[in-house]
Amino acid sequence: MAGLVVSGTQVSYIGQDCREIPEHLGRDCGHFAKRLDLSFNLLRSLEGLSAFGSLEELILDNNLLGDDLVLPGLPRLHTLTLNKNQITDLEYLLDHLAEVTPALEYLSLLGNVACPNELVSLEKDEEDYKRYRCFVLHKLPNLKFLDARKVTKQEREEALVRGAFMKVVKPKASSDSVVVSPKSRYTPLPSASRELTSHRGVLGKCRYVYYGKNSEGNRFIRDDQL
């Protein structure tokens, strides 16, 4: 079976561009698999995962899983990684995980909008990420690791006291939103750049205080803008 790697109770089906979990995978491996790696596919649905009732580790990095993600009951699952997917609704995901993965101890959500750090937005900083961790630990108090970082005693205590107030609001869709194709080269500048012979500008004053935070200099100025 092309792309399938089995080693003891570990099953890997990586980089096969599959949009759903193949039926044969559950039929042939579901009854013994304790670790399942489905990274680097095109998964939008986890239908078929119910065949893997004994899973302890599930790796789903680099897929297309979104807010309609549904996991079956996995009572033994202690490790779940969902890095670099399309998850934006953190509260829904955490409530779902609390219900279907009661033994979960390790969770990683890096690279999703739901995980507010500089991997997904330069506007986010360490304080945003701390609030996110506090809210996650409020919802999933049994976690020992979150995003490859060990949960500290101080974080647990803070989650008990303040976690309920640290909800990260899901960003609302706007009619002015710009959808960027994953294959396109990102630029914040308009696609219709002005001609080199057109010299129009506006002169004015503004008060600007530089704090040195998240400074990117002129990295977004193209050659034809100079």
Domain boundaries, the chain: 4-165
Predicted confidence (pLDDT) at residue 216 exceeds the cutoff of 50: no
Confidence of residue 27 (pLDDT cuts 50, 70, 90): very high
Domain 4-165 fold is 3.80.10
pLDDT average, residue stretch 201-210: 44
CA distance 90 to 203: 43
Q: Dihedral sign, CA of 52, 58, 64, 69?
A: positive
Check residue 12 and report its DSSP letter: E
How confident is the model at residue 127, as a pLDDT? 85
Element (H, E) at 58: strand 57-59
CB contact set of 100 (below 8 Å; sequence gap of 6+): 71, 72, 73, 74
120 touches 113 (CB < 8 A): yes
Size of the chain in residues:
226
**Stated pTM of the model:** 0.71
Count the neighbouring beta carbons within 10 Å of the beta carbon of residue 30: 19
CA distance 15 to 2: 11
Helix, strand, coil shares, percent, the chain, to 5:
25, 10, 65
What integer best gives the mean pLDDT of the chain? Answer: 79
Residue by residue, DSSP assigns 14-51 as -S---SS--HHHHHHHTTT-SEEE--SS--S--TTGGG
pLDDT digit string, tens, across residues 116-135: 876 666 666 778 899 999 99
76 touches 51 (CB < 8 A): no
Three-class SS state of 164? helix
Predicted confidence (pLDDT) at residue 177 exceeds the cutoff of 60: no
Tokens of 32: 């013994």
CB contact set of 209 (below 8 Å; sequence gap of 6+): none
CB contact set of 70 (below 8 Å; sequence gap of 6+): 45, 46, 47, 96
For helices 126-139 and 153-162, the axis angle rounded to 10 degrees is 80
Q: Residue 133, Cα to own-chain centre: how many angstroms? A: 13
pLDDT average, residue stretch 195-217: 44
Check residue 59 and report its DSSP letter: E
Confidence of residue 163 (pLDDT cuts 50, 70, 90): low
